[in-house]
Amino acid sequence: MLGPNIRGQKIHLEPVKHDDLDIFRSWFADEQVTRYLLRRFVPGEKAEEEWFERASSAEDVVCWSIVHDGKTIGNTAIVAIDWINRHAITGLIIGDTSQWGQGIASETVRLRTHFAFQELNLERLESESYEANVAMHRALEKSGYQKVGRRRHQMFREGAWHDTFIFEVLRDGWLAERA
């Protein structure tokens, strides 16, 4: 599913548009952008089209483009939604490197988490982050996520194995923090 428009202070989340696909592909071609992603290869045009079709119609996905000053600078999603047990996996990418360090990831996580708990009525969200991606860890923690585990040797980069961290946030804890 494509997520609804959600307005924040610095950014807003919009449904992904077909026109965004070339921008997304350009980000996957940038090693600086992909250095912390689990996925490192540039999808072909057909693969990106197929992703868009799946994401647009899937019942277990909600995805958005992250828009700042009218420009798509990233994307975020809630995926693998388990409607019975009410949990899901979350992720995001800020592809426009000029926007790094501006608090955009933190605001995106906050807006996405609010939507997941208040609109989708989910109970638990999980996110995985490369051990060196400290900025992402901070963005998650600002929205109530807690580090709950480590996957050892999860990623092979630059000739070495690296760990990833598992973060989660529960609805009750998130609501209590906001009270």
pLDDT in tens, 78-99: 999 999 999 999 999 998 989 8
* Residue 150 CB neighbour total at 10 angstroms: 11
Please give the Cα distance from 174 to 179 (Å, whole number). 9
Asked if residue 115 lies in contact with residue 3, where contact means CB atoms within 8 angstroms, the answer is yes
The token pair at 10 is 């610095």
For the chain, what percentages of helix, strand and coil (3-state, to nearest 5) are there?
35, 35, 30
Q: Which amino acid is at 64?
A: W
pLDDT confidence of 12, banded at 50, 70, 90? very high
pLDDT of residue 165: 96
Q: What is the pTM of this model?
A: 0.90
**More reliable by pLDDT, 46 or 81:** 81
pLDDT of residue 49: 85
What percent of the chain has a predicted confidence (pLDDT) above 90? Answer: 68
**158 pLDDT higher than 90:** no
Listed residue (115, 117, 111) closest to 9, CA to CA: 111
| Domains of the chain, residue spans | 6-178
- Indicate the angle between helix axes 171-178 and 104-118, nearest 10 degrees: 110
pLDDT of residue 22: 87
**More reliable by pLDDT, 31 or 79:** 79
> Is 6-178 a CATH 3.40.630.30 domain?
yes
Please give the Cα distance from 129 to 151 (Å, whole number). 10
DSSP 97: G
pLDDT in tens, 127-153: 999 998 999 999 999 989 999 999 999
